[in-house]
Amino acid sequence: MLISTWAALLSTCLVLSFTPGAGAINTMTNSINVGFVRSIWGILGQQAALLIQLAIVAAGLGVVISQSPAAFAVIRYAGAAYLLYLGVRLFRRPADTSDDTTLALAAEPWWSMFGRGIWVNLLNPKAIVFLLALIPGFVRADATLSTQYLIIGATIVVVDIAVMWLFFALVARGLDRTTRNERRQRNLNRVFGSLFIGVGVMLALL
């Protein structure tokens, strides 16, 4: 892959990663609830989903999904329902003003955050459609496809981890300092719960 092509890919990945979506909301929620360091597990789950979607596109199945209204609708509504579920659960979550930081940070196991990260990204069929539109512009037919897909996948994952962890998780870490009383924490839960619900509704309707 040419340096100029990779630079264009890098710029595109940065713009996409900084665009707020379900992944960013999930990352910020994890950072507030379990801490900045442990929020990496949800981010890694989201990257696993991106790699699965990239593999689907590379295998040609993405074309089938994007051109099948039934398959697209099933994944889309399943994703919307999952985001609505997360939003309602967070909206109704009681405030935890415990001073026991150790217990607070151990409240959710890593595999639960990892799994949620996978489903948040995987149940978004528009990501597959987007990758179908994005990838061809950075792939040359006269070069080794496996190497090009490896570079594309590594770039997408590294950029998204950096943006999610070093931007969105850090922003949420700053917000966490404002939630030391019950009312503020409850309001913040409702804000992020509403964001999950909003993204779910948009996924279902748009």
| Statement: residue 103 has pLDDT above 60 | no
How much is the pLDDT for 124?
Answer: 77
Three-class SS state of 188? helix
Query: pLDDT band at 41, cuts 50/70/90?
Result: very high
Average pLDDT, the chain: 79
Joined together, the tokens standing for residue 152 give: 């594309």
| Statement: residue 180 has pLDDT above 90 | no
User: Per the structure, how many domains does the chain have?
Assistant: 1
**Euclidean distance between CA atoms 144 and 83, whole angstroms:** 38
What is the residue whose two structure tokens read 């630079």?
7
Which DSSP state fits 107? S
**Structural domain containing residue 71:** 3-15+22-205
CA 102 centroid distance within chain:
26
Query: pLDDT band at 66, cuts 50/70/90?
Result: low
